[in-house]
Structure 1
Amino acid sequence: MGRSLTEDQWTLVTGCLARLPATSINQRLHVALPLLYAIGLRVSDARRMAAMMKFWK
């Protein structure tokens, strides 16, 4: 099993994103998830980076 989503899984994710209500957090997800997918960054890596950025503020 690979560490990235298959095309079918990504289609499911984008479909779920499209059905979310238009809140600020969901708008961020609309930007962040495709970006993370496109550059191949895992969610765990993104969370670790976010935690590090909070620490250094």
Structure 2
Amino acid sequence: MIKYQEVAKKIKQMIYQKQLSKGTQLANIDGLITQYQVSRSTIVKALNCLERQGVIYQV
């Protein structure tokens, strides 16, 4: 599995396992970089993937 897909899967699991409730903001990009120890482009790809799937929306 590609790294951004792994990150997207982990975030998606957190949401569906109710560790993040509806309306809760994710950490900012820098926070996600630190949390998942990946590059900025990996986080951006993961968030875009989740947005396309309708799991999150970006403001």
Same fold (TM over 0.5): no
More helix per residue: 1
Answer with 1 or 2: which has the greater Rg: 1
Shorter-chain TM range is: 0.3 to 0.5
- Choose between structure 1 and 2 for higher RCO, CA contacts under 8 A separated by at least 6 residues: 2
Q: TM-score, normalised by structure 1?
A: 0.37
